[in-house]
Amino acid sequence: MKFFRTVFRMPLTIMLGITFCLIAGAALYGRATVYAEYETAPLEEPYISSVFKGVRDGIYPWGEKKDAHEDELQALLSQVQQQAGVAPAAGGIADATANKIAGPDADPNAGSIAGESSEAENKDADTASETTEKKEDAAEESKEEITSAEDAEKTSEEKKEEGEGEDAAKAGEPSEEKEESSETEEAAKEEEENKEPENPNYIRADSMPEGVNSPVMEAVDYGVAGSRYLSPADTVYNTDEGGVFAQNGDYYTFRDVNDVYFSDALFIGDSRTVGLMEFGGMKESTYFIAKESTNVYNLFTKPLIFSEPDGTRTSRTLLDLLVSKQFRKIYLSVGVNELGIPDTIKFYESYKAAVAVIRQLQPDAIIYIQGIMHVSESKSKSDKVFNNTVVVQRNKAIATLANGHDIFYIDMNPDVCDENGNLLPELTSDGIHLKASGYEKWHEFLLHHAIYRSPDDYLGTGPIDEGVKIPGVTVPAEEGE
């Protein structure tokens, strides 16, 4: 009796005990099924934590709970992905990667690439041969494909220092650049090679100078005529940020524009873009759709904040927005939240799929792939996840997605980083985000790095500010610097 009297005086102990047992039971029950994908570190996390993670992700012991809208979105997304010709489901990413990696052997055109990679560093060659082996193994399962991706990751990690150096050296030296032909790039090149040449003077991917599509390359005109947008001969560029080259030989310079240029633009991104929206002084001249913790995996279906120039803000998913409204410029800036998922290839493939979906939904838009902004030196040194080695590696991967025609890669890191590629300490307090006053630098960068291909690219009602030097706006063919 005394026992029970004591027990009834301990309601919280009892309640916590009962609830703990219930939760533990749920964790046990769902261990092999719904919670299977949650890894638990036994020393750091209690067994029951998978239940809480499940609650966060809408997964319960009795199954996944999804609202109708989300299902609709997913269906729509996979439909669009199919139209765009990319692997629809997340599970397919690994397969797609493997196919791409295995591709070069099947594709006769790719002989040169395979040769290049075997001539390259030993590490790369190892990876490449491994890939070949894998390809030969018909009963390849996705598990091993993931291993292969991890291998590639390791290989890239081994090149840390080299990667950083390369990035710091603004003008990419071709010889050095060639060495970094990782699988990612092979995949990209291969993908691009499969495209029909749009121009008779098409430059083959493997003969294409490195640094193409990158703003930090030397401004050399490769002399392929055939477009009214080309800079005239004898054009002399004062900076090394002269322009970008399409594989078909088209050549565009980055122009100076004013804010009107952004009036039909959409900025998509994570918390950094939220910062640009709040403090970049652009929110009255352009559209933003952004929210913290946006990443390339949840980009289309996560509810984001959509900010319009008139000041209205609504919660929209990107997919909804892209289906219902057309833009002429899409600025994409994600990548920092994904750093924690240690797989550059997966990231690259997802990014590529995302760009393809945007392309599909916004056929007329210039897509700007914005390089992931580097982090500060102290952050980079102290953080296993958020360091510039990984950022540089990822930027290299996504830079290859640009085609110089309607998809461009722009990278403002040279404007906000020191000579070692670290984010300047005075521009940041947490090492990852710009301080509010630093967003003007981003804004300025965007104003100086606009692509203007034809009058269609500028649909603003007012004139482009005449005080701003905009080469090529009125008579594109006659302009230079």
Residue with tokens 């990035």: 167
DSSP 346: H
Q: Rule CB under 8 A: is residue 271 a binding residue for another protein? A: yes
- From 157, 278, 308, 465, residue interacting with another protein (rule: CB under 8 A): 278
Q: Rule CB under 8 A: is residue 200 a binding residue for another protein? A: no
5-25: b or e for each residue (b if 16 or more CB lie within 10 Å)? eeeeeeeeeeeeeeeeeebee
User: Could you tell me which stretch among 140-148, 167-175, 416-424, 434-442 binds another protein (CB under 8 A)?
Assistant: 434-442
Q: Rule CB under 8 A: is residue 314 a binding residue for another protein? A: no
Q: Rule CB under 8 A: is residue 279 a binding residue for another protein? A: yes
- From 29, 45, 99, 178, residue interacting with another protein (rule: CB under 8 A): 45
* Minimum separation from the CB atom of position 117 to another protein (A): 30
Q: Rule CB under 8 A: is residue 27 a binding residue for another protein? A: no
Q: Rule CB under 8 A: is residue 15 a binding residue for another protein? A: yes
Q: CA dist 479 to 87, 246, 255, 468, Å?
A: 42, 19, 11, 14
Q: Rule CB under 8 A: is residue 107 a binding residue for another protein? A: no
* Minimum separation from the CB atom of position 358 to another protein (A): 21
Pick between residue 93 and residue 432 the one whose CB is nearest to another protein: 432
Residues 6+ apart with CB under 8 A from 138: none
Pick between residue 290 and residue 361 the one whose CB is nearest to another protein: 290
Tell me, by CB under 8 A, how many residues bind another protein. Answer: 50
Pick between residue 125 and residue 385 the one whose CB is nearest to another protein: 385
Q: 429-437 — which CB contacts under 8 Å span 24+ positions?
A: 430/379, 431/375, 431/376, 431/378, 431/379, 431/380, 431/383, 431/386, 432/272, 432/336, 432/375, 432/376, 432/379, 432/386, 433/271, 433/272, 433/275, 434/272, 434/275, 434/373, 436/275, 436/278, 436/279, 437/279
Pick between residue 16 and residue 459 the one whose CB is nearest to another protein: 16
Distance between start and end Cα atoms, the chain: 95
Q: Rule CB under 8 A: is residue 437 a binding residue for another protein? A: yes
Q: Rule CB under 8 A: is residue 268 a binding residue for another protein? A: no
* Minimum separation from the CB atom of position 280 to another protein (A): 9
Pick between residue 10 and residue 90 the one whose CB is nearest to another protein: 10
Whether the CB-CB separation of 168 and 421 falls below 8 Å is answered with yes
- From 1, 4, 32, 56, residue interacting with another protein (rule: CB under 8 A): 56
Pick between residue 359 and residue 433 the one whose CB is nearest to another protein: 433
- From 33, 129, 239, 429, residue interacting with another protein (rule: CB under 8 A): 429
User: Could you tell me which stretch among 189-197, 266-274, 444-452, 472-480 binds another protein (CB under 8 A)?
Assistant: 266-274
Q: Rule CB under 8 A: is residue 309 a binding residue for another protein? A: no
Q: Rule CB under 8 A: is residue 46 a binding residue for another protein? A: yes
How long, in residues, is the chain? 481
Q: Rule CB under 8 A: is residue 53 a binding residue for another protein? A: yes
Structure token pair of residue 11: 């309601």
SS3 352: helix
- From 4, 6, 122, 228, residue interacting with another protein (rule: CB under 8 A): 6
Residues 6+ apart with CB under 8 A from 328: 264, 265, 364, 365, 366, 456, 457, 459
* Minimum separation from the CB atom of position 337 to another protein (A): 4
Whether the CB-CB separation of 303 and 316 falls below 8 Å is answered with yes
Site for another protein in 322-351 (CB under 8 A): 336-342
CA distance 149 to 365: 32
SS3 316: strand
Strands 366-370, 407-410: pairing kind? parallel
Whether the CB-CB separation of 257 and 470 falls below 8 Å is answered with yes
Whether the CB-CB separation of 388 and 157 falls below 8 Å is answered with no
* Minimum separation from the CB atom of position 238 to another protein (A): 32
Q: CA dist 160 to 6, 349, 388, 402, Å?
A: 63, 21, 9, 23
* Minimum separation from the CB atom of position 344 to another protein (A): 14
Q: Write out the residues near another protein by the rule CB under 8 A.
A: 6-7, 9-13, 15-16, 19, 23, 39, 41, 43-46, 48-49, 52-53, 55-56, 270-272, 275, 278-279, 281, 292-293, 295, 336-342, 385, 429-430, 432-433, 435-439
